[in-house]
Amino acid sequence: MDISVIIPLLNEEESLPELHEWIVKVMTENKFSYEIIFIDDGSKDKSWEVIESLSKANPNTKAVKFRRNYGKSPALYVGFEAAEGDVIITMDADLQDSPDEIPGLYNMIVKENYDLVSGWKQKRYDNAVTKNIPSKLFNYTTRKMSGIKLHDMNCGLKAYKKKVVKSIEVYGEMHRFIPVLAKSAGFTKIGEKVVQHRARKYGTSKFGWSRFINGFLDLLTISFLSKFGKRPMHFFGLLGTLLFFVGFAFAFYLGAYKLYCVFMHHPARLLTQRPSFYISLTCMIIGSMMFLAGFIGELVLRNSSIRNNYLLDKKINLN
């Protein structure tokens, strides 16, 4: 099968027939073998009834319905698990992503050998204050922290090689950072394509301001796990040791200075009356706690069933 199109959705009953017809038209014109996988993320409208009618008319249309709303990342995870195409295309259900972009994305994966291609909505029709400006700030921060040079990290219109989506796990709200997850899994040929952005035709946006705060926290999580997920002691142990020795050295200095003053009969304040003494103690306590956190992390990892799960690309003469 050439292409799997994965479409997560929530309350999009008006747009689904038009979107489905448009995708089928593009696939037929380009003679692609395909499947369309709708993931209904707990819709409360008639989205599922519409999907059922579409699947009856077109056997290439498949669908999964969640019992309640879980979010876009779980929907994509289920879609990735079910996808069978050589190239996986993800797009939103609100008609803001154009299915006419599918052939171009497919060719970049197949002919130019990209692992992942992300859409870049260079000209947007969203509200500048609530979406465009925060989105630019979010993308700038992600580029700097991840080293991935994409202008629109969170664009819903993306294309992947099949092995990419089968090698990454999308959970929580990590769908914003799929390129970062892919890079962490060893897929480094990541590109982008300028795509058409259309004004929303039906309904309203399902995302609020909280996504930017949550997105930043998720970025910190991914960055930490990609670097220290299998060696927590290298982070906590190093930082804890440095803090402990800084605190210990300063406490030693204060103690030695106090003894010197006593020996030389110079007036000196009690150690417990010096704020710097408590700062040094705090550094030693925090350093010890961080060291123990790294040690406990290593113990947990040692007993984890996935401690030796490594992503293999190719093998020769190995069963």
H-run or E-run covering 240: helix 233-263
- Could you give the number of structural domains in the chain? 2
H-run or E-run covering 8: strand 3-9
Query: Is pLDDT at 90 greater than 70 in this prediction?
Result: yes
- pLDDT band at 269, cuts 50/70/90? confident
Among 228, 247, 271, residue at a domain's last position:
228
Residue 32 is assigned to a structural domain of this protein: yes
Average the pLDDT over 227-250 and give the result. 88
Does 215 or 228 have the greater pLDDT score?
Answer: 228
Does 139 or 277 have the greater pLDDT score?
Answer: 277
Does 228 or 200 have the greater pLDDT score?
Answer: 228
Residue 156 is assigned to a structural domain of this protein: yes
Residue 313 is assigned to a structural domain of this protein: no
Residue 312 is assigned to a structural domain of this protein: no
Cα–Cα distances (Å) from 189 to 16, 112, 175, 186, 261, in that order, read 33, 10, 19, 9, 65
Residue 167 is assigned to a structural domain of this protein: yes
Average the pLDDT over 154-167 and give the result. 93
| CATH number reported for the structural domain that contains residue 207 in this entry | 3.90.550.10
* One domain for residues 141 and 243: no
* One domain for residues 211 and 71: yes
* One domain for residues 183 and 48: yes
Does 53 or 301 have the greater pLDDT score?
Answer: 53
Residue 7 is assigned to a structural domain of this protein: yes
Q: Tell me, what's the pLDDT at 316?
A: 53
- pLDDT band at 204, cuts 50/70/90? low
- In this prediction the pTM is 0.73
d(CA 254, CA 252): 5
Query: Is pLDDT at 315 greater than 70 in this prediction?
Result: no
Which residues, 6 or more positions from 17, have their beta carbon under 8 angstroms from its beta carbon? 50, 54
d(CA 263, CA 139): 62
pLDDT digits 0-9 by tens, 32-41: 999 999 999 9
d(CA 309, CA 312): 9
Does 222 or 289 have the greater pLDDT score?
Answer: 289
Question: Between the ranges 76-85, 144-153, 178-187, where is the mean pLDDT highest?
Answer: 76-85
Q: Tell me, what's the pLDDT at 230?
A: 75
* One domain for residues 108 and 78: yes
Nearest alpha-carbon partner for 168 in 234, 79, 102: 79
Which residue range forms the structural domain that includes residue 219?
3-228
Among 228, 252, 273, residue at a domain's last position:
228
- pLDDT band at 149, cuts 50/70/90? confident
* One domain for residues 180 and 237: no
pLDDT digits 0-9 by tens, 290-311: 999 988 888 887 776 655 565 5
Q: Tell me, what's the pLDDT at 309?
A: 61
- pLDDT band at 22, cuts 50/70/90? very high
Q: Tell me, what's the pLDDT at 304?
A: 65
* One domain for residues 147 and 279: no
